[in-house]
Amino acid sequence: MTALPHAGGPTLTAGHDLHDARVACLMVHGRGGSAADLLTLADDLNLSAFAYVAPQADGHTWYPHSFLAPVAQNQPYLEGALARLETALTELAEAGIPAERVAVLGFSQGACLASEFVARRGGRFGALVLFSGGLITLDHTRTLSGTPVFIGNSDRDAHIPLARHEQTVEVLTRQGAQVDARIYPGMPHTIIRDELDAARNLLRDMTFGSL
């Protein structure tokens, strides 16, 4: 049996020791990025209670085409990417950190993958944080049971159409998430301070809730 793409890549960690932490942040890098780059956000978030876990995609890309392309065009890479996140979540649970104490955070392609993963899986997560991204598919029916979500996008991002941002907010809200959605006029394809502050507030609330 041939292994799915991304099954054998490394997973980098930072922050609190995984086996001694009550909360964790699963970080998903974007196309052309790296787990190491995204882990630097741990310094910006400055939340010492968190164990940060970041899997690395094969070839630095989770799937080859736009997230808006037909799903079949991105297979088997998309299937492998979703499986990789499920494996990471399982490993966190085995370390004593269940999904309701895990924040899933992604940037760009990683945000698209993170939202798709959480929406497909359903259930209560600690938080979902999306920097410049949106759902890959829109036909989700599982409840997210009040999962707090932050999603920030530009009004003129060449990669993330504004309509997809709005559709993503609609679907996640319908699934029962508590969504903080923000549009930033003229923002380039990047992460800005206001987004980091919003993410930090969500994660900090998780910390208090886990006590």
Domain 11-209, CATH:
3.40.50.1820
Whether the pLDDT of residue 210 is over 70: the answer is no
Tell me how far apart the alpha carbons of residues 73 and 60 are, in angstroms, rounded to a whole number: 18
Tell me how far apart the alpha carbons of residues 44 and 5 are, in angstroms, rounded to a whole number: 31
Q: What is the pLDDT of residue 187?
A: 97
Give 211's pLDDT tier (boundaries 50, 70, 90): low
Span 97-124, mean pLDDT? 98
Q: Where are the beta strands (DSSP E) in 60-200?
A: 102-107, 127-131, 148-154, 178-184
Helix then strand count (H, E) for the chain reads 6, 7
Residue type, 202: L
Tell me how far apart the alpha carbons of residues 148 and 150 are, in angstroms, rounded to a whole number: 7
| 31-59 pLDDT tens trace | 999 999 999 999 999 999 999 999 999 99
Mean pLDDT, the chain, rounded, equals: 96
Q: What is the pLDDT of residue 2?
A: 76
Q: What is the pLDDT of residue 1?
A: 61
Using CA of residue 182, residue 60, residue 96, residue 42, what is the dihedral sign? Answer: negative
Bridge-based pairing state of the strands 23-28 and 102-107 = parallel
